[in-house]
Amino acid sequence: MSKRISRRGFLRSSAAVSTAMAMSAVSYGRVVGANDRLRIGIIGCGDRGRNVHMTGVHKHAQTLNLEIVAVADPWRLAREQAAAKAKEWYGGEPKAFASHRDLLAMPDVDAVTVASCDHHHTRHLHDIALAKKDVYLEKPISMDLDALNKAVDAVKAAGIVVQIGTQLRSMGTFTGCREVYRSGILGKVARIEQCRNGERPYWYGYLKRDVQEKDVDWKEFLGDRPAKPFSAVRYSGWYGYRDYTDGPVPGLASHYLDLVHYITGATFPKSCVCMGGTYTWKDENNFDCPDQVQAAWEYPEGFLVHYSTNFGNSSGNSFKIFGDVGVLDMVNWNAPVLTAEGGSKNKGAIRGREPVKEIARPDHFEDWLRCVRSRGTPHAPLEAGYQHAVATLMAVRAMDTGKRMIFDPAKREIREG
């Protein structure tokens, strides 16, 4: 038999070697065998950490062979509740910490989920990358672009699997909407809009005035934020304070913007303007996140994306993509429809109101966990999170300065323009 190798075989072998060399030793070493148990840590044990992250992960404990082995939260009561739930499910005694740093120091934790306060997300992501754990990270992923750029670089160097918590990408209805958009049936799309309103701001629903200072690691909660005396309202109602979040654009519109990118294929807006303020809910809590906001982004693909929140009246909610032939109406996430409403009657193939066909996908946690094992790319990778983070940061800066913002993808900079 000849030992000579064909040119095609040589190229195939070379490609395999190159791929193996490109895969860092860290990333290669973290491939989990199908029969090995994944050991998960939970960072942030509030309502979302316990009732969404823990429940979402545990749902797949049997099929994907995993257990929750550690929890971390500055509030003793929250982490004790999370630890008790993990013990009930898995029988072992999970480790419980006030700081994420102690959890990340555990060598036998493979992956973590993060449902901490917004001002911690970028620091947690950076520290997780340095610890070389895979991560499911809640949005918004940053309040500062420079810090985010550094965290993104650390993630790429570590080769970890990142799933951003924009779980609407994993809904079959929105994947169906993406296929409708790609078909071109809407004609020329020039405007996309969402109005997401409520009777009151969502942060009021989190207030717990009975939180005790002795139960909270206040310094851990503050992180790099300005030093302030302990406040149960500030701790539990952090969603309403600009020290810890920037309000409904990063809090709610991040989901919307991510869907705009997912459905249309757009990545970064080229410009943004935004206005907002507190007009209705002025009281003794002194919340400073806006209860009214209007933002608009211009995309190089040739359409305008508009978002507004009215936290003084719950009517007027909408989520629509407008084409010159018809409308994709997604205000009901579970039952979006395609309609000829407002479009040219002479152009279109749309008849009446047509339900959008759902395209089944694994749920967001299952997708992430499977990618942790396979080292594949999840539904909402870091790149997607970075794109909608840039868009929300542009809006916040425009709101604060009263000036139009533009983004330079090559330099990864936001500036006035």
Q: Which residues of 367-383 are buried (b: 16+ CB within 10 A; e: fewer)?
A: bbbbbbbebeebbbbbe
> Residue for token digits 């840039």?
390
In this structure, the dihedral spanned by the alpha carbons of residues 150, 152, 158 and 159, taken in order and rounded to 10 degrees, is: -170
CB 103 within 8 Å of CB 41? yes
Distance (Å, whole) CA 355 – CA 416: 42
Query: C-alpha dihedral over 341, 343, 345, 351, to 10 degrees?
Result: -40
Q: CA 356, CA 333: separation in Å to the nearest integer?
A: 11
DSSP letter for 343, please.
S
- The structure tokens listed for 329 are 């109406």
Residue type, 15: A
Domain assignments of the chain as residue spans, ordered by start: 7-167, 169-359+382-416
Residue by residue, DSSP assigns 173-193 as HHHHHHHHHHHTTT-SEEEEE
Residues 385, 376 contacting (CB under 8 angstroms) = no
Each residue's pLDDT, cut to its tens digit, for the chain (417 residues) gives 333 333 334 333 333 333 333 333 344 344 454 459 999 999 999 999 999 999 999 999 999 999 999 999 999 999 999 999 999 999 999 999 999 999 999 999 999 999 999 999 999 999 999 999 999 999 999 999 999 999 999 999 999 999 999 999 999 999 999 999 999 999 999 999 999 999 999 999 999 999 999 999 999 999 999 999 999 999 999 999 999 999 999 999 999 999 999 999 999 999 999 999 999 999 999 999 999 999 999 999 999 999 999 999 999 999 999 999 999 999 999 999 999 989 876 676 888 899 999 999 999 999 999 999 999 999 999 999 999 999 999 999 999 999 999 999 999 999 999
Q: How far apart are CA 149 and CA 382, in angstroms?
A: 11
CA distances for 236 relative to 50, 99, 121, 205, 313, angstroms? 15, 17, 17, 10, 24
pLDDT at 352: 85
Cα 370–Cα 259–Cα 316 angle in degrees, nearest 5: 135
CA angle in degrees (0–180, nearest 5) for 321-327-333 = 65
One of 3.40.250.10, 3.30.70.2750, 3.30.360.10, 3.40.50.2300 is the CATH number of 169-359+382-416, namely 3.30.360.10
CATH superfamily of 7-167: NAD(P)-binding Rossmann-like Domain (3.40.50.720)
**220 neighbors 129 (Cβ within 8 angstroms):** no
Q: CA 333, 334, 338, 339 torsion: positive or negative?
A: negative
Tokens of 380: 């909402």
